[in-house]
Structure 1
Amino acid sequence: MATKATTDASFSADVLEAGKPVLVDFWAEWCGPCKIIAPALEELAEELADRVEIIKIDIDENPDAPTKYGVRGIPTMILFKDGQPAATQVGAMPKSAIKQWVERSLTAGASNLA
């Protein structure tokens, strides 16, 4: 399954009420680093499909969610578990580093908050 997009209107249903952990990629069309990590996130959406869903939200079109979760720079990735932010990563990273961060965050407790 590939990444999917969400909006402020559907954020609660898509992310907070999801049945499994959700990695939210806060991005914008004009953001170069966001475009660099996009293919890695698409591949990880396939590789980790049974463990986590990857959802993207355009911060220019949907300002409420980034404001609520304190997103100040992009790309920002927030892993939500049980409707709560469990881990945050700011900035572009290689696919292998994103995957390691996600896997660590999925197995870690709340002590992994950034």
Structure 2
Amino acid sequence: MADVHQVTTATFDDEVTKATEPVLVEFWSVGCPACRVVAPTVRAVAERYEGRAKVVRVNVDENPASALEHGVNGLPLLVLFKDGAEVDRVLGTATASKLEAMIDRAL
């Protein structure tokens, strides 16, 4: 099973911007009902793309600097990075097909 691990402000650069593969970042919060809805979809996408793309989560309550730096203005926010730069984003719950299309364009 693919790992959707937590990234912090301190590890963001190493885990996301310096990654050689595309990285889907889920910005989320414990108190966000929509985040709980989208979490299983994010896990399924992580499993489907294991070995080709990375999927990580950032808890915005614990990492407000990351949220500010990446313009998080609502949750959940899913941002795709490729070669260290943001290439796509979707705010709110997203379907697996939407997330897969984002990743496929980056591969």
Q: Which residue of 2 aligns with 1:49?
A: 50
> SS state of the match for residue 98, structure 2?
helix
1:94-113 mapped onto 2 (5 Å cutoff): 94-104=95-105, 106=106
Question: Please, which runs of 5 or more residues in structure 2 have no aligned partner?
Answer: none
| Structure 2 contact 24–56 (Cα < 8 Å) conserved | yes
Q: How many residues of Structure 1 are paired with residues of Structure 2 in the alignment?
A: 106
Q: Which residue of 2 aligns with 1:25?
A: 26
> CA shift at 1:95, angstroms?
2.2
1:70-89 mapped onto 2 (5 Å cutoff): 70-89=71-90
Seq. identity, %:
32
> CA shift at 1:4, angstroms?
1.0
Distance 2:95 2:87 in 1: 21
Q: Which residue of 1 aligns with 2:16?
A: 15
Q: Which residue of 2 aligns with 1:68?
A: 69
Q: Which has the higher contact order (CA 8 A, sep 6+)?
A: 2
TM-score by length of 1: 0.86
| Structure 2 contact 29–35 (Cα < 8 Å) conserved | yes
The one-letter amino acid paired with 2:87 is A
| Structure 2 contact 22–103 (Cα < 8 Å) conserved | no
| Structure 1 contact 77–88 (Cα < 8 Å) conserved | yes
Distance 2:19 2:103 in 1: 17
Distance 1:84 1:70 in 2: 14
Distance 2:98 2:89 in 1: 13
> SS state of the match for residue 23, structure 1?
strand
Distance 1:23 1:93 in 2: 12
